[in-house]
A and B are shown apart, each in its own frame.
Chain A
Amino acid sequence: EPEVTQTPSHQVTQMGQEVILRCVPISNHLYFYWYRQILGQKVEFLVSFYNNEISEKSEIFDDQFSVERPDGSNFTLKIRSTKLEDSAMYFCASFQGQETQYFGPGTRLLVL
């Protein structure tokens, strides 16, 4: 069964450093999302991406965040200058024409 994959599974970085989180969505899907989940809290929407551009973003998704689909398979989330409060699980999700989103296993980001 097709699945969403994410790399790395864990990332430890120093405050102020840049990180890039990578996702490979399901191959025929057209809509791509990033979410984050701070430990013990709700899953929070960050951004949606369709047709090579951002379709919607939340108030969390400020200028330090960016997304890119550099080729036909990868979808990346870049955090330019990480803060302690960016420590969380980051999930990528994708879907085709229906509304059901399929989530990846997540990247656990720890900012020290």
Chain B
Amino acid sequence: EDQVTQSPEALRLQEGESSSLNCSYTVSGLRGLFWYRQDPGKGPEFLFTLYSAGEEKEKERLKATLTKKESFLHITAPKPEDSATYLCAVKAGGFKTIFGAGTRLFVKA
């Protein structure tokens, strides 16, 4: 069965304290791995799409990487405005997208 597991469930950082979020996945035939940011009461906001192992993408303080079994979202020198829930999702065969439960990130000034 296709599965996505994110860790940790919650992460508390001081402003400027870099860290990484993990997304482990089990799917047959990965067609894409996605990272989204979700603020409370809002829809997921697209961050990155990764398609193959070894691929990396960056945007401001965020960098996403992909291996054959997991993806990392690295946050460099986070700011309080980076506080949100970060969602990982995968697309295998067909049209269905499977989401992980998310990592709630809190960045304190």
Contacts and interface: CB of A to CB of B under 8 A. Distances in A.
Interface of A: 4, 31, 33, 41-45, 48, 50, 55-56, 58, 89, 91, 98-106, 108
B29 to A, nearest CB: 13
B43 to A, nearest CB: 4
A78 to B, nearest CB: 20
8 contacts: A56-B94, A56-B95, A98-B49, A99-B32, A100-B49, A102-B46, A103-B44, A103-B45
Contacts of B100: 42
A31 to B, nearest CB: 7
Interface residues of B, number: 23
B99 A44 contact: yes
Nearest to B96: A45
Given A43-B44, A43-B87, A101-B34, 18 more contacts: A31-B95, A33-B95, A41-B101, A42-B100, A42-B101, A45-B96, A45-B99, A48-B95, A55-B95, A56-B94, A99-B91, A100-B49, A101-B46, A102-B46, A103-B45, A106-B41, A106-B42, A108-B41
A5 to B, nearest CB: 11
B31 interface: yes
Contacts of A55: 94-95
Given A42-B101, A99-B91, A100-B49, A58 B44 contact: no
Contacts of B49: 98-100
A50 B95 contact: yes
Contacts of A4: 43
A100 B46 CA distance: 8
Contacts of B102: 42
A8 B70 CA distance: 37
A31 B96 CA distance: 12
A41 B101 CA distance: 7
Contact of B43 (A44, A50, A58, A105): A105
